[in-house]
């Protein structure tokens, strides 16, 4: 099943919104409409159509698909119940190099950079990567288990990989994320909430929250209040 979402963002001029809604609604079928709770202005985007998640394949149709070998099945009966936000840059602090994908495919060249010699043997992945320009790359179907969290605990539950979805933002702890990354992240989260009933808006955390002392991402640069505002939390 493919869920198609029209995200409707309101400006102060509600008459303009009502006019567009009246024109659009009669022409559409099989769409779910998501509004920004209370008709508040939260985005410069007025109307955006997004086709989101195929529940059979567990894939986003708006993401480039690159299947990582670093994944497996979740425990029997386990569904996603947690969203974990990470950051990543390879080499550290550099963007757009293509090395992130190499890491998730176990092809990182240890001689290409001194840092790579320390991590090239890791077997890791995330479900989704949001690049600096907002491009999406998916590596693992959402219903499968990506290897993103490592040793972790959420609300007393160990092994967060078993019941979570890992989303990487290309970035660092101390450098501001791009506005388009928040925009794309919010759209993905809305789609995940629709596709997987076990998820909720209050179960969205950073890697730092489930592995304190071991991990620090997405770091101080990540604007949690902005994300919560966009999601209406």
Q: Residue 50 has what pLDDT?
A: 56
Torsion, Cα 147 150 154 157, to 10 degrees, reads 90
Query: Which comes out higher in pLDDT, residue 11 or 87?
Result: 87
- Interatomic CA distance for residues 219 and 207, integer angstroms: 9
For residue 55, tell me if it sits in a domain.
no
For residue 28, tell me if it sits in a domain.
no
9 has a pLDDT exceeding 80: no
For residue 13, tell me if it sits in a domain.
no
In tens, the pLDDT along 122-142 reads 999 999 999 999 999 999 999
Q: Residue 67 has what pLDDT?
A: 98
Sorting pLDDT into bands at 50, 70 and 90, what band is 91? very high
Active-site amino acid positions: 168
Give the domain CATH number at 182.
3.40.80.10
Of 3, 162, 151, which Cα lies nearest the Cα of 81?
162
Q: Lowest-pLDDT range, 28-32, 133-137, 168-172?
A: 28-32
CB 125 within 8 A of CB 68: yes
Q: Residue 61 has what pLDDT?
A: 84
166-171: average pLDDT: 98
Peptide bond connecting 91 to the previous residue in cis, omega within 30 degrees of 0: yes
Query: Tokens in use for 218?
Result: 């997405």
Domains of the chain: total: 1
- Interatomic CA distance for residues 147 and 168, integer angstroms: 12
Show the domain range for 88: 64-231
183 φ/ψ angles, rounded to the nearest 5 degrees? -60, -50
Average pLDDT value over all residues in the chain: 83
For residue 148, tell me if it sits in a domain.
yes
In tens, the pLDDT along 203-214 reads 999 999 999 999
In tens, the pLDDT along 65-85 reads 999 999 999 999 999 999 999
Sorting pLDDT into bands at 50, 70 and 90, what band is 89? very high
For residue 37, tell me if it sits in a domain.
no
DSSP assignment letter at 72: E
Helix (H, G, I), strand (E, B) or coil at 30: coil
Query: Which comes out higher in pLDDT, residue 230 or 143?
Result: 143
221 has a pLDDT exceeding 50: yes
Torsion, Cα 228 162 210 34, to 10 degrees, reads 0
For the chain, percent of residues with pLDDT exceeding 70: 78
DSSP assignment letter at 121: T
């Amino acid at each position: 099943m493919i869920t198609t979402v029209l995200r409707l963002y309101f400006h102060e001029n509600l008459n303009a919104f009502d006019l567009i809604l009246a024109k659009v609604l009669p022409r559409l079928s099989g769409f779910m409409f998501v509004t920004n709770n209370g008709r508040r202005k939260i985005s410069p985007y007025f109307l955006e159509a997004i086709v989101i998640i195929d529940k059979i394949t567990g894939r986003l149709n708006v993401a480039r698909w690159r299947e990582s070998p670093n994944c497996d099945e979740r425990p029997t009966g386990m569904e996603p119940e947690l969203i974990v936000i990470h950051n990543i840059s390879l080499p550290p602090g550099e963007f757009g190099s293509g090395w992130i994908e190499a890491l998730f495919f176990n092809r990182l060249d240890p001689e290409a950079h001194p840092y790579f010699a320390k991590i090239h043997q890791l077997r890791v992945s995330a479900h989704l990567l949001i690049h600096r320009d907002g491009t999406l790359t998916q590596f693992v179907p959402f219903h499968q288990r990506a290897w993103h969290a490592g040793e972790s605990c959420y609300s007393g539950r160990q092994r967060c990989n078993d019941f979570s979805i890992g989303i990487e933002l290309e970035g660092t702890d101390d450098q501001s994320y791009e506005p388009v990354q928040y925009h794309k992240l919010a759209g993905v989260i809305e789609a995940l909430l629709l596709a997987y009933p076990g998820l909720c808006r209050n179960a969205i955390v950073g890697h730092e929250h489930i592995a304190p002392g071991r991990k620090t991402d997405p770091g101080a640069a990540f604007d949690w209040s902005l994300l919560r505002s966009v999601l209406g939390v």
